Amino acid sequence: MGGNRIPFARSGAQYAHASNQEMLTAALDGLVARFGLQGERIGEVAAGAVLKHSRDFNLTREAVLGSALAADTPAYDVQQACATGLETVIGLSNKIKLGQIESGIAGGVDSASDAPVAVSEGLRRVLLELARARTTPQKIAALTKLRPADLKPNAPTTAEPRTGLSMGEHQAITTSRWSISRQAQDELALASHANMAAAYDRGFFDDLVTPFRGVSRDGNLRADTSLEKLGALKPVFGRNLTGEATMTAGNSTPLTDGAAAVLLGSEDYAREHNLPMLANVVDAEAAAVDFVHGKEGLLMAPVYAMPRLLQRNNMTFDDFDFFEIHEAFASTVLSSLAAWEDEDFCRTQLGLPGALGTVDRTKLNVNGSSLAAGHPFAATGARIVASLAKSLAEKGSGRGLISVCAAGGQGVVAILEAR
Amino acid sequence: MTDTYLKLVNAQPFSRVAKAAGLPRPVPLRRYVPGAPLVPGPVLVLGRSRSTQAAAETLLEWNLDVRRHLRPKEKFGAAVVVLDDLAHPGELSDVLLELGNGLRNLLPGGRIVTISRSVASGLPPQVAAARQAVDGMLRSLAKELRGGATANGILLGEGVDVGAPSVRDALEFLLSGKSAYVDGQFITVGSDSGKRQKPAVLPLAGRTAVVTGAARGIGAEIVNVLRRDGAQIIAVDVPAAGEQLAQVANGAGGTALQVDITAPDACERILQHAASRYGGLDIMVHNAGITRDRLLANMDEARWNSVLAVNVEAQLRINEQLLDSDIFDADGSIVCLASTSGIAGNRGQTNYAASKAGVIGMVRATADALAGSGRTINAVAPGFIETDMTAKIPFATREVARRLSSLQQGGLPLDVAEAVSFLASSGAAGINGQVLRVCGQNLVGA
């Protein structure tokens, strides 16, 4: 029915001191204001964060309690890395289709600035033992186990636990595997910025974004960037691989802070509340790949989910007017497109009779995507769903396809159709 | 912005010092509190015309303590002076001297309201003289009153009598705390349109209102008052003000619509939102406005053009589309924010004053076109109002500006909002093309 997000900000910038709970509450309050939902009991609110403090065990419920929604609105947290936001949309829309709830708010939030910092494993063990100690000698004994190295905290990283490689280094392997050129990546990044800047200028985001802490546009957006500027940046990932390193800060998403929410409901609910009906959530599919043993790239799971989703719905790429492929890295999008066009890969890896097909680049991320907006991990899915639903409503017909890759070698794809 | 002097002067020991030194002694104004009496004491009704009794009966219907004469030294809360059949200036003396005789017994926060006829062309000179005399008398009387008391007048148009719905509405507004900062002003009732017969708790119930520039200051207060009076709210402001706008909308149970009113499709988006969410639109409050102050000698194109674009050109464009649309109710009300700057001028504000005077011109011309249609358009012209904008005025200038009105203080955003809500109510349907100043009878341009 609609969506709302706060502008995304680069990590450490304007939202450096905003918590996940504050940002998610702001996204909810903006949604409430846009649709007049003050005091309304929503069927369920589902959201999540990837980088989450232990104190935020009930993050979404706490955000609901701090918002203008009715206090008797239930909520739960979801965590599926970068697919969190999209997964909340799928989960709640399924509940609505089942008739379990009439309305729902799906969303996500992430702060790379206000990330949790954990104490070292050694210090943690000492502190727990200290808490269990009853006598002074026991307490002293516990403390003597403390080593200077234990005082160093564990800072959060984006490294995969099983490989120790960062997401960028993983993607660099895939980029190399599909021979994605620096030029192609920079062109995709440029298109993302140009499309998003144009969308802002034509007021596309007027009813999708509510300013927060004085920020009214995404902090990462560079309306004036150019191929020359992007081309001047030094590669940051894949420098240890053989071959040219092509992934730069310009064609990779930066660490980002932000929150987004999507309002979902049944037809009856929308009619009773005079709410707009923008698009239907048609279907969705998740996939995972074995990146640990190097069988597939970390961010390639959506490539595998896609044919299963299309087949089930008896559709091809030709049935879609909009493609929203999350730009974790420009090369992630380009690797996916290349894989779907590769007859050999589609036969051997996807079990298809031939190539899955070609995505019409003029229909791809037409209002910009994560390279321009930034990527607060769990918020991205809700950003994409709200923007795509609006694009479909503006067009008045047609379908849109969403593809989101996620850490852990996972990916989720989904179909929306205009009403 | 707190008026520190106002607080000081109303507490010992400074109040005694101020009195002895002859310093201005502003008092906290009597403002509207739901459920509180309309006036602080008995209402004196004076007049020699047949309509005087009709006015007294209206007040009796409202359960007020109505007197035709006062006992010596008896305190009273308001006087309604009916002067609707003046044929000659000589007829004023009886009634006014009687009023003057009791004036020392007017309670703090008291009200004087005259009801007389407007001066039209083609009147016999002595009639016109008598009617115009009321104007000068009332404006002077307003300057004489102290203790937060005000004097205002209602002017009856051709064929409008004292019992007309909008006369009753205007009378209620002027007697109540809602008109706290309206002083020395006249409200012309041009027709007997309007339905309401007695004071309503929710005069705007069932109506949907758009307020532009709703994110802060006067706009946010207009939202609150229209909501208090029963209206459904669509709060509009530029996308960049969305954070505060959302808070205002959430506080008023309304919807936030982020639209730049200077965009060509602004009206279309507002109407579409109103139609889809509320089934129509009844009230349009053009409150959004900006200042870009500079002496004309230092004025640049951007400063001049942006002020005109936001303050008047956007209203012109929106009104044109609004009045063409079926979504805007057949009895719809438009209320525009003008400014005393647009009436009296203000150094450094040629652009702003041009835009606000433009609004007044637009309101009058549009009102002519709307006459008899059921729809109305009026303007509210605030004077010195305590907002973030006036808080930026240098200290000394601000202090002088505050004391320059008959009420010796700045007004509050609430005072402007009350006037807007009054003009937006269906009871005010007989009031069209008026510019109501909410300025405490500021001496500059009063």
ipTM: 0.89
Is A346 catalytic? The answer is no
Question: Which of 8-27 (A) contact B at CB < 8 A?
Answer: 26
Q: What is the predicted pLDDT for the residue at B3?
A: 82
Q: Are A325 and A361 in contact (CB under 8 A)?
A: no
Alpha-carbon distance of A225 to A249, in angstroms, equals 13
Q: What is the predicted pLDDT for the residue at B176?
A: 96
Query: B250 vs A203: CB contact, 8 Å cut-off?
Result: no
Q: Which residues contact B104 (CB under 8 A, 6 or more apart)?
A: none
Exposure pattern of B228-253 as b/e (b: 16+ CB <10 Å)?
A: bbbbbbbbbbbbbbbbbbbbbbbbbe
Q: What is the predicted pLDDT for the residue at B444?
A: 64
Query: A103 φ, ψ to 5°?
Result: -145, 155
pTM above 0.80, yes or no: yes
pLDDT at residue B270 is higher than 50: yes
Ordered DSSP codes for B146-178? -TT-EEEEEEE-TT--TTSHHHHHHHHHHHSGG
Instruction: Give the tokens for residue B107.
Output: 């309670």
What are the tens digits of pLDDT across the range A287-335? 999 999 989 999 999 999 999 999 999 999 999 999 999 999 999 999 9
Q: What percent of chain A has pLDDT over 90?
A: 84
Chain B residues lying within 8 Å of A33, measured CB to CB: 235, 245-247, 249-250, 255-256
The structure tokens 């589609």 sit at A346
Query: A29 vs B245: CB contact, 8 Å cut-off?
Result: no
Ordered DSSP codes for A286-298? EEE--TTTTSS-T
pLDDT at residue A156 is higher than 70: no
**CA B71 from centre of chain:** 33
What are the tens digits of pLDDT across the range A17-62? 999 999 999 999 999 999 999 999 999 999 999 998 888 999 999 9
Query: B332 φ, ψ to 5°?
Result: -65, 155
Q: Are B82 and B45 in contact (CB under 8 A)?
A: yes
pLDDT at residue A153 is higher than 80: no
Using alpha carbons only, give the angle B235, B239, B241 rounded to the nearest 5 degrees: 70
Q: What is the predicted pLDDT for the residue at B141?
A: 97
Alpha-carbon distance of B166 to A259, in angstroms, equals 50
* Of B235, B242, B276, Cβ closest to residue A274: B276
pLDDT at residue B144 is higher than 60: yes
Alpha-carbon distance of A252 to A171, in angstroms, equals 10
What are the tens digits of pLDDT across the range B155-171? 999 999 999 999 999 99
Q: What is the predicted pLDDT for the residue at A147?
A: 85
Q: A90 vs A163, which has greater pLDDT? A: A90
Collapsed DSSP state (helix, strand, coil) of residue A76: strand
pLDDT at residue A261 is higher than 70: yes
Going by C-alpha positions, the residue among A2, A7, A1 that lies closest to residue A259 is A7
Q: A118 vs B52, which has greater pLDDT? A: B52
Q: B255 vs chain A: nearest CA distance in angstroms?
A: 5
Q: In what order do the strands lie in the sheet with B281-286?
A: B255-258, B232-237, B208-212, B281-286, B328-337, B376-382, B435-438
Going by C-alpha positions, the residue among A345, A310, A303 that lies closest to residue A325 is A303
A205 and B CB contact within 8 Å = yes
Chain B residues lying within 8 Å of A213, measured CB to CB: 243
Band of residue A88 on the pLDDT scale cut at 50, 70, 90: very high
Chain A residues lying within 8 Å of B281, measured CB to CB: none
pLDDT at residue B344 is higher than 60: yes
Helices assigned H by DSSP within A36-161: 59-65, 84-98, 121-132, 136-144
Q: Which residue is closest to A215 within chain B, CA to CA?
A: B240
* Of A30, A274, A276, Cβ closest to residue B246: A30
Band of residue B23 on the pLDDT scale cut at 50, 70, 90: confident
Mean of pLDDT values over B275-301: 96
Give pairs for A362-367: CB < 8 Å, separation 24+: A363/A320, A363/A321, A363/A322, A363/A323, A364/A323, A364/A325, A364/A333, A365/A191, A365/A192, A365/A195, A365/A323, A365/A324, A365/A325, A365/A327, A365/A333, A366/A195, A366/A322, A366/A391, A367/A195, A367/A196, A367/A199, A367/A204, A367/A391
Q: What percent of chain B has pLDDT over 90?
A: 82
Alpha-carbon distance of A29 to A8, in angstroms, equals 16
pLDDT at residue B173 is higher than 70: yes
Alpha-carbon distance of B78 to B38, in angstroms, equals 10
Query: B239 vs A35: CB contact, 8 Å cut-off?
Result: no
Going by C-alpha positions, the residue among A356, A354, A395, A408 that lies closest to residue A159 is A408
Q: Which residues contact A286 (CB under 8 A, 6 or more apart)?
A: A83, A87, A301, A305, A410, A411, A412, A413
Query: A29 vs B247: CB contact, 8 Å cut-off?
Result: yes
pLDDT at residue B445 is higher than 50: no
Question: Which of 80-99 (A) contact B at CB < 8 A?
Answer: none
**Could you tell me whether strands A410-418 and A279-288 are parallel, antiparallel, or unpaired per DSSP bridges?**
antiparallel
Q: Are B355 and B311 in contact (CB under 8 A)?
A: yes
Chain B residues lying within 8 Å of A276, measured CB to CB: 276
pLDDT at residue B446 is higher than 60: no
Q: What is the predicted pLDDT for the residue at B11?
A: 80
Mean of pLDDT values over B189-197: 82
Query: B402 φ, ψ to 5°?
Result: -65, -45
Q: A29 vs chain B: nearest CA distance in angstroms?
A: 7
Query: A239 φ, ψ to 5°?
Result: -75, -20
Using alpha carbons only, give the angle A5, A9, A15 rounded to the nearest 5 degrees: 95
Mean of pLDDT values over A123-135: 87
Mean of pLDDT values over A57-74: 97
Other CB atoms closer than 10 Å to residue B364's CB: what's the count?
A: 16
Give the DSSP H/E element, type plus range, for residue A246. Answer: none
**Could you tell me whether strands A103-110 and A256-265 are parallel, antiparallel, or unpaired per DSSP bridges?**
antiparallel
Query: A34 vs B256: CB contact, 8 Å cut-off?
Result: yes
Count CA atoms closer than 13 A to A328's CA, side-chain side: 30
Report the DSSP beta bridge partners of residue B408: none
The structure tokens 């400014």 sit at B339
Q: What is the predicted pLDDT for the residue at A145?
A: 86
Q: What is the predicted pLDDT for the residue at B24?
A: 80
**CA A326 from centre of chain:** 8
Q: B19 vs B428, which has greater pLDDT? A: B428
Alpha-carbon distance of A54 to B321, in angstroms, equals 54
Q: Are A329 and A300 in contact (CB under 8 A)?
A: no
pLDDT at residue B197 is higher than 60: no
Query: A235 φ, ψ to 5°?
Result: -60, 145
What are the tens digits of pLDDT across the range A198-228? 999 999 999 999 999 999 999 999 999 999 9
Q: What is the predicted pLDDT for the residue at A113?
A: 81
Best mutation target, A15, A37, A207, A209, to test chain B (most B CBs within 10 A): A207
Q: What is the predicted pLDDT for the residue at B198?
A: 61
Mean of pLDDT values over B408-422: 96
pLDDT at residue A379 is higher than 60: yes
Look over chain B and give the mean of its residue pLDDT values, rounded to a whole number. 93
